[in-house]
Amino acid sequence: MVGKSQIKFIKSLQQKKYRNQHRMFVVEGIKTVQELLDSSFEPHKVYAIAEGTITTDQIDIELISEPDLLRMSSLKNPNKVLGVFKFPEIKTIKDQGWILALDDVRDPGNLGTIIRLCDWFGIKQLVCSENTVDCYNPKVLQATMGSITRVDIVYTDLIQFIKASSLPVYGTFMDGADVHTEKMPEKGILVMGNEANGISKAIENLVDQKISIPQFGSRETESLNVATATAIFLNEIRRVGK
């Protein structure tokens, strides 16, 4: 049986301030926990309700009951396995290839999907503004489906990062040039903005080229979901770069 103090600690990691304090986060589900165990992430504890559910040589799996898993889980229907992992070392962003930059994206589902898109399109570096939702938020981790292990994510002052970079900066705007006809370079920074307000004025002033997705349907649709738009822009970057 898992002690009350362990359950309290794991539940506390659902909050960002405690994740930052302990530099640990919680992952749930067989696939995502296994992906992290097979990566460079260092496990602190792994719990499972049955032997053979998960495999690793790094750490002993602690068998627990379903009621105990339910007590420590953030899910209504926990998926057999829960892992506590340590934060990785902060990566240094390199001026190479395409870098995706997020200007205050706040929705966990959007960030999780964007991390999966980076993995799919081979974008190795994701730079987030300090007000972008925490990538170790449980809802973000669920949405990444393990892709967080293959994308370097850094939170920083986005203005200072862009100013220090030598890469061309492409910002996504409703009134930008058509991305389908724009000649995209082999490397650069693609900036995606906040769900409600788009790219901030301070970041807009640092953009070299504004680009957009042409609208063919109803003008009553004001904008695309940021994750959907990211998929289209990344596909175009990779298509043009072939």
What is the mean pLDDT of the segment spanning 188-212? 97
Residue ranges, comma separated, of all CATH 3.40.1280.10 domains in the chain are: 98-240
Q: Which residue has the higher pLDDT, 119 or 4?
A: 119
CATH superfamily of 4-86: Ribosomal protein L30/S12 (3.30.1330.30)
pLDDT computed for residue 89 by the predictor: 93
Q: Which of 126, 86, 119 is nearest to 105 (CA)?
A: 126
pLDDT computed for residue 84 by the predictor: 97
Is the pLDDT at 223 greater than 80? The verdict is: no
Mean of the per-residue pLDDT values for the chain?
A: 93
pLDDT computed for residue 100 by the predictor: 98
**Which of the four pLDDT bands, split at 50, 70 and 90, describes residue 221?**
low
Q: Which two tokens stand for residue 65?
A: 């009951």
Name the pTM for this structure.
Answer: 0.93
Sheet containing strand 188-192, strands side by side: 152-156, 125-129, 98-102, 188-192, 169-178, 209-212
Tell me the residue type at 33: V
pLDDT computed for residue 107 by the predictor: 97
Is the pLDDT at 242 greater than 90? The verdict is: no
Q: Which two tokens stand for residue 201?
A: 């004025």
Alpha-carbon distance of 160 to 12, in angstroms, equals 32
Q: What share of the chain has pLDDT > 90, as a percent?
A: 85
pLDDT computed for residue 220 by the predictor: 60
Phi-psi category of 103—alpha, beta or left, where left has phi over 0 and alpha has psi -120 to 50? beta
Report yes or no: 41 and 87 within 8 Å, Cβ to Cβ: no
Could you tell me the fold of the domain covering 98-240? Alpha/beta knot (3.40.1280)
pLDDT of 54-100, one tens digit each? 989 889 999 999 999 999 998 888 889 999 999 999 889 999 999 99
Is the pLDDT at 218 greater than 70? The verdict is: no
Residue ranges, comma separated, of all CATH 3.30.1330.30 domains in the chain are: 4-86
What is the mean pLDDT of the segment spanning 201-205? 98
Cβ neighbours of 22 (radius 10 Å): 15
Q: Which helix (H) or strand (E) holds 71?
A: helix 66-72
pLDDT computed for residue 2 by the predictor: 80
